[in-house]
Structure 1
């Protein structure tokens, strides 16, 4: 499924360029598996893939660009589930149920991909303005409107998005020892109160 990528696409690739791209991405995934996202450097990736460091930078632009490319498939899969998948995350459930499911699923997504997302979030654009982030922000806004929230749903969805930021969730888990279930319950309580107040 190809939806809105977290990193904008380019012109169609030549076969050898596509092969090299997959080689680099496979090497990047191996390095992340071995040493985590923070341990991945462009130099280490170039060495693992057997290419020059300049090749890596030309392909991805920056370390953050590499992380965003690695996230694209996971983000597209998440989009597919909240836009077209079964309820309660997908269409067909009441808006409050969809809001609860969205936050719960996003927390689970952060548990799996949060390190990559945190490594990609090096600029305000990467955090808030990439097409994928804009899409799920708009999705939250739409659900709030459907639930009857009239008190600035756009800004309210911005506030809710902040609750689901990877760095915030990972900090709560690792530094404060907050259980995943507690994060999900807190999200449920928050959106329920917002909808009830409307």
Structure 2
């Protein structure tokens, strides 16, 4: 009974920390302005409880990112068109990438903090990246004439990286609508490209 209560308390504390972090990050210009001490205090738990639940600050960032991303992921994996699996692959690929881009736009600072320094390992090994890459690869491989779905998925996802989004919007002043239009055009050109012979096969 005590063990079950302990698990329930751990789940409740985790949810309280995520809710507090979500509220704090939403109000601040940058995730770097939010300390773990503030999050713990807002959640009504000790810092030790926060670190036991998430490991470290990077773990908290990842968990919050995943929680915000979950509705989009659910729509992509099981939802109706245009994101869901009932959509033809040629239409689903741009819809999924647009959803990913919009998520990055709506969570610019959090996405940037996570992708730039939120993990000590490669961003390409992050769980959320591997899931998007695996999904896109599977959809791309359903498109006749399109070769190397794995590389194409990496290349398309690169166009939604948080640092690129931040550069285009912050440094070059590209608007949200223009950025979405540019991505849609890029994806359309990639999907319209027929199979090409690699350098090793030429000549």
TM-score when scaled to structure 2? 0.80
Shift of 1:13: 6.3
Question: Which 5+ residue runs of structure 1 have no aligned equivalent?
Answer: 1-11
Shift of 1:181: 1.6
1:105 and 2:99 matched? yes
Q: Distance in 2 between matches of 1:170 and 1:119?
A: 11
Shift of 1:21: 1.9
**What are the superposed Cα offsets for residues 67-117 of structure 1, whole Å, 9 maximum, x if unpaired?**
111122232211111122122221233222111111211111112223222
Quote the residue 2:176 is aligned against. 180
CA separation of 1:194 and 1:100: change in aligned 2, threshold 3 A: same
**What are the superposed Cα offsets for residues 112-134 of structure 1, whole Å, 9 maximum, x if unpaired?**
22322222222364622233321
Q: Distance in 2 between matches of 1:13 and 1:184?
A: 46
Contact 1:99/1:143 (CA < 8 Å) preserved in 2? yes
CA separation of 1:88 and 1:25: change in aligned 2, threshold 3 A: closer
Quote the residue 2:33 is aligned against. 39
Number of positions where the alignment pairs a residue of Structure 1 with one of Structure 2: 187
CA separation of 1:81 and 1:98: change in aligned 2, threshold 3 A: same
Q: What are the within-5 Å matches in structure 2 for residues 136-175 of structure 1?
A: 136-175=132-171
**Aligned-residue RMSD, C-alpha:** 2.3
Quote the residue 1:14 is aligned against. 7
Match of 1:95 among 89, 92, 98: 89
Q: Distance in 2 between matches of 1:56 and 1:124?
A: 19
Contact 2:40/2:46 (CA < 8 Å) preserved in 1? yes
Q: Distance in 2 between matches of 1:76 and 1:34?
A: 21
Q: List structure 1 runs of 4+ shifted beyond 6 angstroms.
A: none
Question: Which 5+ residue runs of structure 2 have no aligned equivalent?
Answer: 195-203
Greater mean alpha carbon deviation, residues 121-130 or residues 29-38: 121-130
Higher-Rg member (1/2): 2
Greater mean alpha carbon deviation, residues 140-149 or residues 116-125: 116-125
Contact 1:68/1:117 (CA < 8 Å) preserved in 2? no
Contact 1:46/1:53 (CA < 8 Å) preserved in 2? yes
Relative contact order (C-alpha < 8 Å, sep 6+): which is higher? 1
TM-score when scaled to structure 1? 0.82
**What are the superposed Cα offsets for residues 29-75 of structure 1, whole Å, 9 maximum, x if unpaired?**
23213324221111222343444433322221111110111122232
Quote the residue 1:56 is aligned against. 50
